[in-house]
Structure 1
């Protein structure tokens, strides 16, 4: 458990600021809800300050107007400690986002344990949002964005951890269905489809966890950071889950509004790529 907990402790996070093109051109299922750009930028600033308050050094990247989804940096890579697999996002319009992340990890942070999706398997796709890492194992969403070849490459990159594929059917990513609140608490559920997916995660787990079921989709996505748990406001996640979260999760709650990102199918985990550059000293 100590090893698992240390892998949900972070020293650094990469975030990317929001381009003007985000409101009109970010990929999303429902385009009827207008995104308030300034409000979204304020929410991201609060998110960044909360990461810093948890002891995380934040590297802030400039936006790219030609990449409207670039603020969702989690999809560009999967990191365990300081080992990173650079992803190949499933939607072609997002693949150029990886370049800035690669440059940051290599040149700004000086990481050397970087792994690429192989050139000889160009059909392999992997979104970081489809990867639920518990600190002890991976659950990988098999979705429109992540396929079996992407799962295999992730498994080869992190061979010391069990990897289980989970079909997420009509959901965008597995982290729309389940996330880690602490090293041993998994929050999941939502609508009927999400509940079925969450049940598959429960039955496939190689290790014991405390599973907390959520009735509404909005509350599922939380973010564990250095003995804190980031969560959305009571208005966004509902009174019942808000109470459950505060009562059952033994981590310091950090509440923030993320309404504008939700309109673009985004959530708390999406907006940072988190690393622990001291992890190998902890093992």
Structure 2
């Protein structure tokens, strides 16, 4: 089990109402004030679960910048600054770099460079292995560079096609002890055949993006079937309202960097 001691989050900006969305999870526009309250509660739960959380100030010029997981991938050993192909998001990597330098030596910070592209939402860590989703945001070259970096620290990686939605972790999440939540489409992937898989029903698809933190699972509010399944595995749970972030394709994992 990966133990987390640090977290980095960024307050949502007022411009979050202009965030990118596929409309897959909601057709409504987010409400900034409600999003700010939900974000504050999210931080409190991370702290309750043992993380020392650094809260960064909002960036109005980047509507999606509260999703700090996308511009970087971090472990307790290294950080990889990604390279979004979306112009409205690519500048976030510049903003996160100084913060990461407070935690990591320069020799342990790496950069995905063009023609490689990557967003952290496509990177799923299972112990010492990373599954990298190939999507509209992450390409083969980005995955290749990523593998070169992580292999220096004894990690391995492999790629998985993302055939639905935005990011890999919207459709498959690892908890711990071989337990995994995934969509019916991802359940067909041979890469995941050896896990204890729970196929989340279509009406609760958003609940796949639950977040395992130091023995407890954070679960988005409003998905009783998935919640009850997670409880049946014996996990303590924390139910979190992320409705405003759902409206711009955001969820529990993408709101923080954890290491």
Both structures adopt the same fold (TM-score exceeding 0.5):
yes
Quote the Cα distance in structure 1 between the aligned partners of 2:103 and 2:156.
Answer: 28
Residue 196 of structure 1 deviates from its aligned partner by: 2.2
Residue 82 of structure 1 deviates from its aligned partner by: 2.9
Structure 1 spans left out of the alignment, 5+ residues: 190-194, 276-283
Indicate conservation of the 8 Å contact 1:167/1:197, yes or no.
no
Aligned to 2:235, which of 234, 246, 251?
251
Q: State the match for 1:163 in structure 2.
A: 157
SS in 2 for 1:139: strand
Q: State the match for 1:274 in structure 2.
A: 258
Q: State the match for 1:26 in structure 2.
A: 19
Indicate conservation of the 8 Å contact 1:78/1:87, yes or no.
yes
Per-residue deviation, residues 44-101 of structure 1 (Å, max 9, x unmatched)? 1011000111110101111111111100000011112231111001312111101221
Aligned to 2:191, which of 178, 181, 204?
204
Quote the Cα distance in structure 1 between the aligned partners of 2:187 and 2:243.
Answer: 24
Alignment of 1:225 onto 2:213: yes
Indicate conservation of the 8 Å contact 1:75/1:127, yes or no.
yes
Aligned to 2:180, which of 168, 181, 186?
186
Aligned to 2:57, which of 34, 54, 62?
62
Residue 240 of structure 1 deviates from its aligned partner by: 2.1
Per-residue deviation, residues 5-58 of structure 1 (Å, max 9, x unmatched)? 1xx2111111001111111x1111238412121111111101100011111010
- Cα distance change of structure 1 residues 158 and 205 upon mapping to structure 2, 3 Å threshold: farther
- Cα distance change of structure 1 residues 80 and 183 upon mapping to structure 2, 3 Å threshold: farther
Aligned to 1:74, which of 58, 69, 91?
69
Where do residues 141-152 of structure 1 align in structure 2 (5 Å cutoff)? 141-152=133-144
Structure 2 spans left out of the alignment, 5+ residues: none
RMSD of aligned residue pairs (Cα, Å) = 1.6
- Cα distance change of structure 1 residues 32 and 254 upon mapping to structure 2, 3 Å threshold: closer
Structure 2 length normalisation: TM-score? 0.92
Q: State the match for 1:174 in structure 2.
A: 168
Residue 110 of structure 1 deviates from its aligned partner by: 4.7
SS in 1 for 2:70: helix
Q: State the match for 2:121 in structure 1.
A: 129
Q: State the match for 1:280 in structure 2.
A: none
Q: State the match for 2:227 in structure 1.
A: 242
Residue 219 of structure 1 deviates from its aligned partner by: 1.3
Quote the Cα distance in structure 2 between the aligned partners of 1:253 and 1:100.
Answer: 32
Structure 1 length normalisation: TM-score? 0.85
